Amino acid sequence: MSSEWVYSLADISAGFSIQQTLSQQAQLQSLKPFQFYVQYWDSFDERLNRAGIRLWTEEQPRRQFKLFFRDTSGSIRSLSSGETLFRADDIPSMEIRRKLQPLLEPRPLLPHLRIQRKRTPWIRKNMEGKKVLSLLLEQDLEFYRPIRFPGDVETETKPGLTLLRLQGVRGHFKALEEFKEWLEIRIGLLPLENDFFDHYLNLLELGKGKKPKNERKPLHSNLHAPEAVCRVLRIQFEIMKNNLSGTLWGKDIEFLHDFRVACRRSRSILSQLKSAFPEAVIKPFLEDFAWLSRLTSAVRDLDVFLLKLRGEEFKKRFGEISLQPLVGWLEGRRDEEQNLLGSHLQSERFQKFSQSWNAFLHGQSSIDLNTEEPSQIKPLASRRIRRLWQRSLKEGRAIPDEEAHLAFHELRKTCKKLRYLLEAFRPLYSKTEILAPVKSLKQFQDLLGVMNDNYVQKELMKQLSVSPELPEESRRIAEQLADGYQNQLQEAASGFRQVFEEFSDPTRNADWKRLLEETPDAIEESFA
């Protein structure tokens, strides 16, 4: 049973009224009021909030930071903490770290909410002079979302709630229940139904991520193809812009990941549906997206590998101390690549690309399709999806052996293009008919993604195993890792045939045919 109840008072003036009421209560002792800051922490994409977990700190003048943790059970843990949180590893409780790490990794903790709070404590003692309960009158003078990383924007400050917090003391539950009854029946206070963090976060979320009017227009089958493609691409451009500051910051690897995926999706969709636009208009954009893909690949590859090396599996296998020279070298290389990426993303070329791409996306609704292509989006999208699906089957059947990395790589690229189109134009198709094809494609693509990651990391470790820049022990570890990745690659490749057979099963083919409104004869003709 909870030992704390929180009551919301109407406004600041109500706070003064309740103070007068409390001062008339015998055995209640008022303590000196003070001001401090409360800071609520979460990942950028609010993983803790979605899991029903609260993590916050209290910063009081001339006192050590206090960290508070509340899980879905409602129980609250408090402990002393350092002034700065960034990773789950920074939390001085092994129990709490174990709960947070699976949720947070690889994202760091960021401040989502900062509250300036005035607290007036009251305590009640029994006849023996022992404290039996506490009352905290809390006036939130202002709240806002602070700057979380360079390029982020601080929200406008707002006045907060006035709360009365009733807290029990172990062993004195009867006194707590009696005072709770007095507050609710005699005073007429009602317990706060919603978490005050929820209240503040909802207010701060107003307008967050709100897309321009055009981006919120739905897709439909009869939509003119250029406009439909631009609606899809505008969404991806918004993702790029929303993740640009975080990508430049470079401390949260998910910003770069989301930025890079949006670039790849844009390039793939534009390339597959380029016939909807004049070639001369599209070609420079395709070149720019290819440039961005090359720029972001090195940092992303290093991010993925460093994430693995910092994991518990590798620490147990090699020891954290033994891994440190290798990790340190990779971190240094990652910093170099991050600086290079940052300089390009702040270059004149990127600025010109952003401006011209934005102008293109918001000015194409009147462009006519080429005469050989359909004027509506669904026939055009279905044609491209059909061709990519057929190509994936053809390339999968033609894989020569387990060592054919280039063949696997080409198949992976084909599957990614297919998935990007399916996901982008999902609203054009029946929800029931698209579910099975998307699911089977994702499972197949996941295997190809693992194979590609293992190959990239194997090649990097092979290079480092003979690098004179690393100490001998680090080169030995790199060689062992290269061998390990080779074994994993062979295992995945040996299981490829079974996964591909599931993907290309006649039942799955029937799902694709229904989705694309394709006759069996037409499908068979494509492989003749």
The CA distance from 58 to 140, in Å, is 13
The alpha carbon dihedral of 410, 413, 418, 419 has a sign of positive
Determine the residue type at 94. M
Torsional class of 52: left (φ above 0), alpha (ψ -120 to 50), beta (otherwise): left
Give the model confidence (pLDDT) of 139-187 as tens digits: 999 999 999 999 998 999 999 988 999 988 888 888 889 899 988 888 8
What would the pLDDT profile of 208-235 be if each residue is shown by its tens digit?
Answer: 444 444 445 688 888 999 999 999 999 9
Taking the CA atoms of 440, 442, 443 and 448 in sequence, report the sign of the dihedral they define.
Answer: positive
Q: Return the closest-CA partner of residue 328 out of 306, 351, 296, 359.
A: 306
- Tens digits of residue pLDDT in 416-430: 999 999 999 999 999
Predicted confidence band at 365 (pLDDT cuts at 50, 70, 90)? very low
Cα–chain center distance at 497:
33
Instruction: Please report the pLDDT score of residue 368 as a whole number.
Output: 46
Contact by Cβ (8 Å): 247, 344: no
pLDDT of amino acid 133: 92
Q: What is the pLDDT of residue 523?
A: 38
pLDDT tens-digit profile of 85-124?
899 988 989 999 999 999 998 999 999 999 999 999 999 9
CA atoms within 13 A on the CB side of 508: 18
Interval 268-308: pLDDT, tens: 999 999 999 999 999 999 999 999 999 999 999 999 999 99
Any idea where the domains of the chain sit in the sequence? 4-205, 216-371, 376-528
Q: Stretch 375-384: mean pLDDT, rounded?
A: 91
Mention every residue, 6+ apart, whose C-beta is less than 8 A from residue 359: none
Q: Domain 216-371 is of which CATH architecture?
A: Alpha solenoid (1.40)
Mean pLDDT across 446-456: 92
Token pair for 269: 């969709």
Does the reported pTM lie above 0.85?
yes
Greatest extent of the chain over all pairs of C-alpha atoms, in Å: 95
3-state secondary structure of 384: helix
Q: What is the mean pLDDT of the chain?
A: 88
pLDDT of residue 458: 94
251 DSSP 8-state letter = S
C-alpha distances (whole Å) from 191 to each of 5, 28, 185, 387, 426 are: 6, 21, 12, 60, 45
Residue 194 confidence (pLDDT): 77
Handedness of CA 105, 235, 516, 278 (dihedral sign): negative
Q: Which CATH superfamily is domain 4-205 in?
A: Hypothetical Protein Pfu-838710-001 (2.40.320.10)
SS3 165: strand
Cα–Cα distances (Å) from 95 to 2, 139, 201, 348, in that order, read 21, 32, 27, 49
CATH topology of domain 376-528: CHAD domain (1.40.20)
Domains 216-371 and 376-528 share a fold: yes
pLDDT tens readout for residues 32-82: 999 999 999 999 999 999 999 999 999 988 788 899 999 988 788 889 887
pLDDT value of position 67: 94
Distance CA 289, CA 266 (A): 8
Helix (H) or strand (E) run with residue 482 in it: helix 472-494
pLDDT grade, residue 202 (50/70/90)?
confident
Grade residue 440 by pLDDT with cuts at 50, 70 and 90: confident
Task: Output the CA torsion 71→76→80→84 (10° steps).
Answer: 40
The string over 211-220, giving b where at least 16 C-beta atoms fall within 10 Å of a residue's C-beta and e elsewhere, is eeeebeeebe
